[in-house]
Structure 1
């Protein structure tokens, strides 16, 4: 993907991610990634996008600053309508 090496392998990667509101960071474990002898370990553009959108749209595990990719993707979506009603 990043270079001409044809021996890119699937792996996982642990990454720190800044929350969408910029107030904090979380450590996400076991993110599906790629590894290449030339490029090192990296995430695809699609994976970066999926994580950004999930951090914005899903309820993060309460009180946890570290969780797995699977935990993030299986978290419930935020109920934005309940937030709007409580603000009224």
Structure 2
């Protein structure tokens, strides 16, 4: 798989931990076990666009007061939504 950063063929699927700012800017949360791409050549780890969109959409559609300081990605994605879809797009 080609790395988007160094364009080598050393990228492979992995998981990592990221810190994400809430939409209102009040704080950030730690999300663990997020699918990512990790490059064995340059060492960069990054989320693909579809994962970023899922996180951003979920943060807009849930009650963020339910979220503590950290959360596992699979639990985060399963949180009940206040709205059925993102009307802000």
Q: TM-score, normalised by structure 2?
A: 0.76
Q: Distance in 2 between matches of 1:13 and 1:61?
A: 24
Residue 9 (structure 2) aligns with: 6
Deviations 1:14-65 (A, max 9, x none): 0111000111111111100000122511111221121111111123473611
**Secondary structure, aligned partner of 1:30:** strand
Residue 63 (structure 2) aligns with: 59
Q: Distance in 1 between matches of 2:15 and 2:37?
A: 7
Cα RMSD (Å): 2.0
Confirm or deny: 8 A CA contact 1:60 1:72 kept in the other structure: no
Residue 86 (structure 1) aligns with: none
Q: TM-score, normalised by structure 1?
A: 0.77
Unmatched segments (≥5 aa) in structure 2:
85-89
Tell me how many residue pairs correspond in the alignment. 80
51, 54, 57: which is aligned to 1:50?
A: 54
Confirm or deny: 8 A CA contact 2:31 2:73 kept in the other structure: yes
Q: Distance in 2 between matches of 1:61 and 1:9?
A: 34
